[in-house]
Amino acid sequence: MNIPVIRAVRLSGLLFAWSIWYLPLNSLAQQQLSQGPLPGVGQVPEYLMPGTGQGFAGLATFYMGKPVIFYDNIWVQRMGGTGSPGFRFLRAHEYAHHARGHWLMRLNSLPQMWPVLGYHEELDADCAAVRYLKQIGDMDAVQAGFQIYPLMLPQQDAGGRPGAVTRINNMNLC
């Protein structure tokens, strides 16, 4: 069965789904993950995709009108794999984008507002992930979130996205 696959590109500092290609999703997906649902949105299909480690680590988006999350396999390997504290933080962050309705906010906003929304959505997803992980007692994943950003991101804000310093300062307030 052929189903659309969303191709993401960077536009004004945001990952923006711009084209849909008809290819079998499972032929592109290295692995469909079965990690179980996180609160707020129920089960979201998650896919570990062949990546380069240069773009997104995770991407919460919609496919066929339903939430889905894609992960770059290189970033996931760098974090220690799908069971690692780093991946648990990334996963909680991506689920938070769906739970907090970030894509829906964009649908109801003017495109010129997307960079501002994207900036704040990243900080909001970080806080939601930290709060959730603290609630379930996964302090290793919270600590991993603090350690990942200095390795993954520029220190200062760039391209309309919060840098490592901004994110860590924000997470300290969550």
pLDDT in tens, 69-117: 999 999 999 999 999 999 999 999 999 999 998 876 666 766 767 667 7
23 part of a folded domain: no
> What was the pLDDT predicted at 32?
80
> What was the pLDDT predicted at 76?
94
3 part of a folded domain: no
What are 47's two structure tokens? Answer: 């896919």
Q: Which residues of the chain fall below pLDDT 50?
A: 1-24
> What was the pLDDT predicted at 29?
54
Hey, which bits of the chain come out as E strands? Answer: 3-11, 14-23, 31-33, 46-49, 58-63, 66-72
101 part of a folded domain: yes
Domain count, the chain: 1
Report the DSSP beta bridge partners of residue 16. 9
15 part of a folded domain: no
Residue pointed to by tokens 């592109």:
28
Of 117, 111, 103, residue with least CA distance to 63: 103
166 part of a folded domain: yes
Q: In what order do the strands lie in the sheet with 31-33?
A: 31-33, 46-49, 66-72, 58-63
12 conformational bin, left if phi > 0, alpha if psi -120 to 50, beta if neither: left
> What was the pLDDT predicted at 152?
87
Boundaries of domain holding 108: 31-172
DSSP assignment letter at 149: H
Q: Centre a 10 Å sphere on the Cβ of residue 44 and count the other Cβ atoms it contains.
A: 21
What are 10's two structure tokens? Answer: 């960077």
Please state the pTM of the whole predicted model: 0.78
Strand, coil or helix: 80? coil
> What was the pLDDT predicted at 40?
67
16 part of a folded domain: no
Cα 107 from Cα 104, distance rounded (Å)? 5
What are 131's two structure tokens? Answer: 């709060």
131 part of a folded domain: yes
What are 85's two structure tokens? Answer: 């504290």
